[in-house]
Structure 1
Amino acid sequence: MASAASPAGPTVLAATGPLFMTSLDYVMESIADAGFSGVEVMVGQNADTQDPERILTAASQAGLSVPAVHGPFLLLLRNVFGTSFASKATSSMELAAEVGAQVMVAHAPFRWEWRARRWLAEELPAVAAETGVIFGMENLYPVGGRAFSSVITIEEMDAYDHLVMDTSHCAVAGIDLFDMWRALSHKIVHLHVADNFGNGKDSHAPIGSGTLPLGPFLAEVGASGWTGTITLELDCRAYLETRDSLVQFLARERVKAENALAGHLTSA
């Protein structure tokens, strides 16, 4: 069953990132069994996620496409693909090109990383042109009340040509989903969708379990004619005891998202 709101609508993907401790084959097969047609691969410490041939083999065996790759920009991945922002971004975009992904999801440099910010302005365009991959800048959020990331607000996002909007990150930052979407939808190429418990943490909660108006938000996205990709980036830890529980959880969340995109708000 193809995972899309409509033939011309956004494609809903599942993320491998929340399952980084699990083998890539198991993750891909579970995602496929949950009815998804595509996946966003997080490049991590698992060597399989750094190897385009392994990614393609696992995806092909599961019958999945890989429209998006998430670079290793989390602090716990600081040594993956080198320690510099430029090396991480370049290697991630090259990997994305090899697996056929259209977008590479990136986190912004910290505010004091001037060399990285200069690279984004001066050298990224050549890398994007060479690889044919879109560099998607994702919004982050303050930590402990301090804005370490250089891209949190709508105004900071607007400095980039291609954007990845994360709904849970918006909640932590106190940014209204509709405000960001309406201001930046012409630049947004990819969405990370999850609910948030409103406790100041990046909870990546199941749709409908938190404080975010994801039903109306996804209905607006679906009605807008936007045709980007949407990844459900969800905390799966409560569903890892058996494969069936993981598959059923992912399938429920996919159905919620697709129903909301189609305007069926009671099901989201």
Structure 2
Amino acid sequence: MTAPSAPRVTLSTSSVYPGTTASAFEVAGRLGYDGVEVMVGIDDVSADINAVRGLRDYHGVPVTSVHAPCLLITQRVWGTDPWAKLERSAEMAHALDADVVVVHPPFRWQRDYGRRFVEGVADLEQRTGIDFAVENMYPWRTGKRELQAYVPGWDPREQDYAHVTIDLSHTATSHSDPLAMAKDLGPRLRHVHVADGSGTGAKDEHLVPGRGSQPCADFLSQVVAAGFDGDLVVEISTRKAGSDANRETDLLESLAFVRLHADAGPA
């Protein structure tokens, strides 16, 4: 019996920040990643479909997914209409031969957007043929206060999304069990952001996998054994790496960690 193939291990362009989208393609190709997830953000190149296509073709690194511009710092990228941003993200995915758009749930103050978010995402998927994988988030904490910043909620298990992204830094911040989350989602788990977190305080740390409290190794083994065939996207923070050499060490360590623990092994 033929062994199942291991999922692709790809690199989020956010993992090289404050480096550029262009540098992410270069390093992904040189280090041996299977592809790139484009985080559409404040780097103008990331929001330019033709520029990203040029980077893809020049470096020979496929774009496997697109992360819609839904962070606080990207509220004005591609305008201010959140639905228009998702439509544009689907356009980029089609143009670059990607099949997944990652999206966060709306902020609580985006009332109209949040009110029909679940139904609107389902409609987008049907119309565009792109999978919109809604990401797990976390409560915001200030001191002893906990604020519910997302609607309809930060835990995607509570909604009828067809496709979901699990982010292992976000499970640390929300104090969630990622193994249980993956089991609960079953085939709805479409996409994974691999990182780590300490689970202390309110920080979303995006550590190198294996350097925090999350059961990253067990999680990867579990989801692959369960038949997961989406992408495993390294999404770490290297802002404090101090040098390009240190950043590449973190990216190589992350790639090796994911490949080791996501190896499907013999059937």
Mapped to 2, the partners of 1:155 and 1:131 lie a distance apart of 23
Q: Does 2:229 match 1:227?
A: yes
Tell me by how many angstroms 1:119 deviates.
Answer: 4.2
Mapped to 2, the partners of 1:238 and 1:47 lie a distance apart of 23
Tell me by how many angstroms 1:121 deviates.
Answer: 4.3
Q: Which residue pairs with 1:12 in the alignment?
A: 9
Q: Secondary structure at the match of 1:136?
A: strand
What's the CA shift string for 1:219-256, capped at 9, x where partnerless? 111222210111111011233513x4333321221011
Q: Which residue pairs with 2:253 in the alignment?
A: 252
Mapped to 2, the partners of 1:119 and 1:99 lie a distance apart of 28
Q: Secondary structure at the match of 1:148?
A: coil
Mapped to 2, the partners of 1:44 and 1:75 lie a distance apart of 10
Structure 1's 147 and 32: CA in aligned 2 closer, same or farther, altered over 3 A? same
Mapped to 2, the partners of 1:8 and 1:91 lie a distance apart of 32
Structure 1's 142 and 160: CA in aligned 2 closer, same or farther, altered over 3 A? same
* 8 Å contact from structure 2 (residues 101, 132) kept in 1: yes
Tell me by how many angstroms 1:167 deviates.
Answer: 1.1
Q: Does 2:26 match 1:25?
A: no
Tell me by how many angstroms 1:152 deviates.
Answer: 1.7
- Give 2:234's aligned amino acid: L
Structure 1's 247 and 155: CA in aligned 2 closer, same or farther, altered over 3 A? closer
Q: Does 2:165 match 1:164?
A: yes
Q: Which residue pairs with 2:94 in the alignment?
A: 97
Q: CA RMSD in A?
A: 2.0
Mapped to 1, the partners of 2:15 and 2:194 lie a distance apart of 13
Structure 1's 259 and 95: CA in aligned 2 closer, same or farther, altered over 3 A? same
Tell me by how many angstroms 1:123 deviates.
Answer: 4.2
Q: Which residue pairs with 2:198 in the alignment?
A: 197
* 8 Å contact from structure 1 (residues 107, 137) kept in 2: yes
Which of residues 40, 43, 46 is equivalent to 2:43?
Answer: 46
**Counterparts of 1:62-77 in structure 2 under 5 Å?**
62-77=59-74
- Give 1:79's aligned amino acid: R
* 8 Å contact from structure 2 (residues 167, 193) kept in 1: yes
Mapped to 1, the partners of 2:121 and 2:221 lie a distance apart of 34
Q: Which residue pairs with 2:217 in the alignment?
A: 215
- Give 1:93's aligned amino acid: A
Q: Which residue pairs with 1:186 in the alignment?
A: 187
Q: Secondary structure at the match of 2:187?
A: coil
Deviating beyond 4 angstroms after TM superposition, the runs of 4 or more aligned structure 1 residues are none
- Give 1:135's aligned amino acid: F
* 8 Å contact from structure 1 (residues 111, 149) kept in 2: yes
Mapped to 1, the partners of 2:116 and 2:79 lie a distance apart of 15
Q: Which residue pairs with 1:3 in the alignment?
A: none
Tell me by how many angstroms 1:125 deviates.
Answer: 4.0
Question: What are the ranges of 5 or more consecutive residues in structure 2 without an aligned counterpart?
Answer: none
Q: Which residue pairs with 1:173 in the alignment?
A: 174
Mapped to 2, the partners of 1:114 and 1:234 lie a distance apart of 30
Mapped to 2, the partners of 1:53 and 1:194 lie a distance apart of 29
Q: Give TM-score scaled by structure 1 length.
A: 0.89
* 8 Å contact from structure 1 (residues 28, 62) kept in 2: yes
Structure 1's 179 and 17: CA in aligned 2 closer, same or farther, altered over 3 A? same
Tell me by how many angstroms 1:154 deviates.
Answer: 5.0
Mapped to 2, the partners of 1:74 and 1:108 lie a distance apart of 10
Tell me by how many angstroms 1:62 deviates.
Answer: 1.6
* 8 Å contact from structure 1 (residues 86, 119) kept in 2: no
What's the CA shift string for 1:17-56, capped at 9, x where partnerless? 2334323222211111111020100001211111111111
Question: What are the ranges of 5 or more consecutive residues in structure 1 without an aligned counterpart?
Answer: 1-5
- Give 1:63's aligned amino acid: G
